[in-house]
Chain A
Amino acid sequence: MKKKWKEYRNGWLLVVPLMMGCLLFYAIPFGMVLWYSLRSSAGRSGVFVGLTNYMEMMKNEMFRLACYNTVRFLLIGLPLILLLSYLIALLLKQQAERHMLLKSVLLFPYIMPIVGTVLLTEVMFGDVGVVNRILPLIGISAEKWLESTAAFWIVIGIYLWKNSGYSVILLLAGLMTIPEEQYAAASLDGAGGLRKFLYITTPQMWYSVFFTLLFSLINAFKCFREIFLIGGKHPNTEVYMLQHFMNNNFENLNYNKLSVAAVLLFLSVTIGIGIFYGWVRRKEAYRA
């Protein structure tokens, strides 16, 4: 026991400051949020109300709309970005040595400042944007794209354009760790591209896919910044996300709704990620 403690001691001592920081700035505040979500208001004037706030939140029309839009955005955006990034990563893997610059170029949209992205969107889809100037030339009337139902698909487009590069880099890093000999051996055995992908690439890429999914999820929530700058506090109902709901309730000092929304979001994301991680772990264990 003493020997084990001696082994891990330095590691723990190095990690403790970070853990203290996480505890002080994340865990404890989140615990307070959880506590306040069970009370009528923050501070000494609040009384314990149990799950009343949660039940009222479920009846809140705007919360349900925000949840629906957020889930829809994730269910469409995440698979699309994984698919697109995977395709690009597979193509890049073959061409990586010949086109070293491509990897850097793919990251340009990711590092572009948000204001630049928003300006570009306005230039393309604004009332007097490029799209509205071209469409009348082919007989289609101009539309207020950013204030219509098309806003959702524009936001999906922004998300894919901005974040695919980052996902490509993550997936490419995973692809590069697969030994070439395995592909060579498979070729000798007569395996085609699809079989190599299904039986060599995919089983070894689960962890990379998981981490790419995780970062894509984080980037999906970050998309709120662009939507906020384009559509304001109350954008078109198609792009009214959970962050809009939380941001507006913060401005309205409605702490109950804000804390309940934060807790529910945390639980949903944790459960979702947890299920997927468990599935990946089982896949890896099966493979081992």
Chain B
Amino acid sequence: MKKKEIVKKIGMISLLCGIILGTIGCGEIQKETEMKELVICTDEAYKDTVEALAEDWQKMKNGLDVEIISIPQDATLAEAKITELRTEIMSGAGPDVFIMGSNINTTDSDTSVLFSNPEKTMHSNLFLPLDDYIDNAQYMNLDNWNQKIMSAGKTEEGQMTLPIAYTYCAYAFYTADLENLSSAPNSWEELVQCSVPIVGKCLSNGALLWLSQTFGELADYENETLAFSEGELQKRMEEALTWYLESEGSEEDFNAMIASTQVKNVFWEQVSRASEEAKTIIAVPNDQNGVTAYVTLYAAINRNTENPDQAFSLLDFMFSDEVMTGAGFATEDPDIKYGNGNSFSYANGILTNVVAAQQSLRNQSTQGLYEEIESSINRVRYYSELDNTISKMYSDCLMDEQSSSSTEDAKKEIVKQAYNNMCMQLAE
């Protein structure tokens, strides 16, 4: 009996020691692995590009081993992955580098993204300020980057994110189809009062996608308040709805569009391929006599990274002119170029690197149109839940308007709830 008791006790103590040692050991191994690896988190859509570029960086700069964590496109898998990543980040760990896409998704506002409001996240001590690193960058030439777009990644602490690509909503027409339109509308008021039927028909139909872009500012993230009142939101919704319902024109007007909605390389390619006739591009204006651009792809470094120099070295390589234009860095072997052919040129927007962006513009007329729109950009931000809320609000109001029991009070209630929702999002 005594022997049995002794054996039991030894067994229990050994089990306890094993658990404790195992836990400590796992922690140590993980720490060692983390030191030797650079972890990059990106969307599945960009995984191949990031992987290829990271490999070239490793070879060229003799960098750390790289582990790519991609967020799946499938909503259920993405949710699980994002929760795992959030838990790691909250515990002070997480990936070293983030290369994340940002898109409005009006049909599914419950789509999970790692940073649902990148601008708010920039104020949350999550990203590493990059100014010192950029000043000492070996390859990145910030003079070749669109400074207006770059300002979207700045806070009072410095450059927190690097906007890689951006977009805005625009519609391209042949000037002849625009019957006496003297100039493209420069403000929201001019747009809704535009008397050209084709403009009203084509643009008002897309308000669901870009209504939030008509606001110059959405939020003041420092003070956690909205930049407009409930009354202003109500008025904007009513104007957009009235404009859509009362716009003249026919279904055939849609065929007159050369290219439409979110501007990216495809947009400019379509404009370039169209005939040589004069073209007019109408970018959706905001209420501050300009155009609001949205960042669609950005990079950032985790403030808690143990390898900040290596992390920035990777970004420095990826966002050099050589890599962004696809030309690549020459090596001793003329057939091999690091970063050649792998870039973010098919990102969901226009590249912030001006040299790379110019490559998609085929001819002088397109160049002229591009520069005209670019000069009118006066606001840049990131897609967030606020944009989704405004889109959903407009969609609900449109559905209410089209239903048999539509009332003004119902629409006012929808706007009120959307406004309260946005206030809550900011105040949290």
Contact = CB atoms under 8 A, between A and B. Distances in A.
Q: Tell me if chain B binds chain A.
A: yes
Interface of A: 13, 16-17, 20, 24, 32, 36, 40-46, 60-62, 144, 147, 234, 237, 240, 245, 248-255, 257-258
B133 to A, nearest CB: 15
A42 B120 contact: no
B174 interface: no
Contacts of A20: 16, 19-20
Given A24-B23, A253-B90, A60 B427 contact: yes
A234 B86 contact: no
Contact of A17 (B16, B304, B413, B425): B16
B417 A147 contact: yes
Nearest to B19: A20
Contacts of B306: 44
B82 to A, nearest CB: 9
B89 A62 contact: no
B405 to A, nearest CB: 9
B130 interface: no
5 contacts: A16-B16, A41-B126, A42-B92, A44-B306, A257-B428
A44 B121 contact: no
Contacts of A24: 23
Nearest to A240: B424
Contacts, number: 80
B304 A252 contact: no
A252 B16 CA distance: 38
Contacts of B90: 42, 250, 253, 255, 258
A60 B424 CA distance: 11
B93 A17 contact: no
Interface string B9-52: 10010011001100100000000000000000000000000000
B366 interface: no
B124 interface: yes
Contacts of B288: none
A42 B120 CA distance: 17
A36 B121 CA distance: 18
Contact of A234 (B117, B121, B424): B424
Given A62-B428, A234-B421, A42 B91 contact: yes
A248 B125 contact: no
B427 A253 contact: no
Contacts of B93: 43
A230 to B, nearest CB: 14
B303 interface: yes
Nearest to B9: A13
A237 B420 contact: yes
B303 A45 contact: yes
Nearest to A16: B16
Contacts of B86: 250-251, 253
Nearest to A251: B116
B116 A45 contact: no
B254 interface: no
A128 to B, nearest CB: 11
Interface in B108-125: 115-117, 120-121, 124-125
B388 to A, nearest CB: 11
A264 B115 CA distance: 26
Given A62-B427, A234-B421, 5 more contacts: A16-B16, A20-B20, A46-B125, A60-B427, A254-B428
B92 A44 contact: yes
B301 to A, nearest CB: 11
Nearest to A29: B91
A253 B41 CA distance: 16
B303 A43 contact: yes
A237 B124 CA distance: 25
Contacts of B91: 32, 42-43
Interface in B395-428: 413, 417, 420-421, 424-425, 427-428
B7 to A, nearest CB: 13
Contacts of A32: 91
Contact of B12 (A16, A45, A46): A16
A42 B124 contact: no
Interface string B98-142: 000000000000000001110011001110100000000000000
A144 B89 CA distance: 39
A188 B19 CA distance: 62
A245 B428 contact: yes
A36 B92 CA distance: 10
A6 to B, nearest CB: 11
Given A254-B124, A258-B90, A45 B304 contact: yes
A223 B86 CA distance: 24
A252 B121 contact: yes
A249 B426 CA distance: 11
Nearest to A36: B92
A62 B424 CA distance: 7
A13 B128 CA distance: 47
A45 B16 contact: no
A253 B303 contact: no
A249 B413 CA distance: 27
A250 B115 CA distance: 11
